[in-house]
Amino acid sequence: MARSIGLVDDKVAEADFFLEELGKRRFDLFEARCYFNAFVSASRSITFSLQAVMSDIDGFSNWYEIRQDELKGNELARFFVTARNLTHKLGEHPVTAGSVRATPNGAEVELRFSVSHDFPAVPSDDVVTACRGYLSMLVDFVLSCYEQFGRVVDPDQYYTAEAFAERGLTIDDADEEVIGIRGWTCAPGVPEEARWQMLRDSVPGCEIDELFEMYAGRTRPTPERVLPKERPAQGWVYIPDELRVTGDPEEDVRRFIAKLKRDKDV
C-alpha cells in the first residue's frame, strides 16, 4: 500500500476540532480569531496532505486536477485560501466583528467577517457557518478520493479478495503482507471471507467515518462485516479466540505460531 491516508484523516479531524471550538461562540474575539486561524491552517493542509499521500498513485494527478478546478471555481473556497495566506503570511484577519443577543440559555455570540483592503469580498454567512461550508467541501473531496482510489489506499477496500485477485494474488499473500506468515489466518472451519475480515481488523484504518457522515452525508464503501467488530483483534494483530489465554498478546502470538507449526507437521 501507499503512504497512509490516515495522515489526511488526521488533518480533517484537526480542522473539525478547531471548528468545534470556534462554534462554541465564546464572548472573546481574540480567542475566536485564534481558533479561526487554526481552522484555516488545518483545513488548508488537507489538500496538501492528500497530494503528498497520493502523489505516486496512478490516475490521481488527473483526478486531482479536475477536483481542484472545482474548488478554484468556488467563491467560498477562494476566500478561505486567501484568508489562510493573509493570516499566515501577513497577520491580516477577516474576523473583526460580532454580535451578542440574549437567549433563554444565556448570551449567544455570532461572529462576522469584515470587508477591508485585503478582504474586499467576504462571505455573507456568519463565520462558523462559512467555515462549516468550506470544511464540507474538503471532506467531500477526501471522501471522493476514498471512493475513487479505495482499493489502493483504504485498508478496508484494499484487503479484499477482489482487490488482491486484480493483482493475481490470494489471501495467503495478504497474510504474508500483513503478518509475515502465509496462512496466518487459516484455521479449520474459518471461511475465507472471515479471514479477510481478520486482516482488515489487524491494520489501522479510517477513523473519520462519522465526519464523512456529518459533513458529506455519506460514508466510505466498505465490505460488509462477517465477524463481530469488537472481538477479532487484540492490539493490532488478529489472534483466534481459543488462543486468547494469557492476557499477554506477545505470549499469545508465540503460542499461535507454535500451533501453526504443529498443524503443519501433522
Beta-bridge partner residues of 110: 99
Q: What's the confidence (pLDDT) of residue 69?
A: 93
Indicate the range of 7-11, 192-196, 199-203, 246-250 predicted with least confidence: 246-250
**Is the C-alpha dihedral spanning 49, 52, 54, 59 positive or negative?**
positive
Cell numbers that stand for 26 in this block: 465564546
More confident residue, 236 or 150: 150
Burial of 175 (0-12, 13-18, 19+ CB in 10 A): buried
d(CA 216, CA 213) in angstroms, rounded, equals 6
| pLDDT(59) > 50 | yes
Q: Is pLDDT at 233 greater than 50 in this prediction?
A: no
Q: What percentage of the chain reaches a pLDDT higher than 70?
A: 86
- At 142 the pLDDT is 97
pLDDT tens digit string along 107-148?
677 888 888 888 888 999 999 999 999 999 999 999 999 999
Q: Helices 6-22 and 29-54: crossing angle, nearest 10°?
A: 170
Range 229-266 burial, b when 16+ CB lie within 10 A, else e:
eeebbbeebbbeeebeeeeeeeebbebbeeebeeeeee
Question: Is the CB of residue 193 less than 8 Å from the CB of residue 174?
Answer: no
Task: Pick the closest to residue 238 from 159, 166, 153 (CA basis).
Answer: 159
- Residues in CB range of 199: below 8 A, 6 or more apart: 159, 171, 174, 175, 178, 185, 238
* DSSP SS3 for 145: helix
Residue 74 — very low, low, confident or very high, per pLDDT cuts 50/70/90? very high
**What pLDDT score was predicted for residue 229?**
62
Q: 28-37, 124-133, 205-214: lowest mean pLDDT where?
A: 28-37
Residue 77 confidence (pLDDT) above 80: yes
The answer to whether 42 touches 8, Cβ cutoff 8 Å, is no
Hey, what's the cell of 45? 493542509
- pLDDT at residue 97 tops 80: no
Residue listed under C-alpha cell 484494499: 158
Using alpha carbons, select from 14, 8, 1 the residue that is nearest to residue 53. Answer: 8
Q: What whole-number distance in Å separates Cα of residue 176 and Cα of residue 179? A: 5
Q: What is the mean pLDDT of residues 75-91?
A: 88
pLDDT tens-digit map of 156-191: 999 999 999 999 999 999 999 998 999 888 888 788
> How far does Cα 13 stand from its chain's mean position?
7
pLDDT band at 232 (very low <50, low <70, confident <90, very high): very low
Task: Read off the pLDDT of each residue in 84-96 and give the average, rounded to a whole number.
Answer: 83
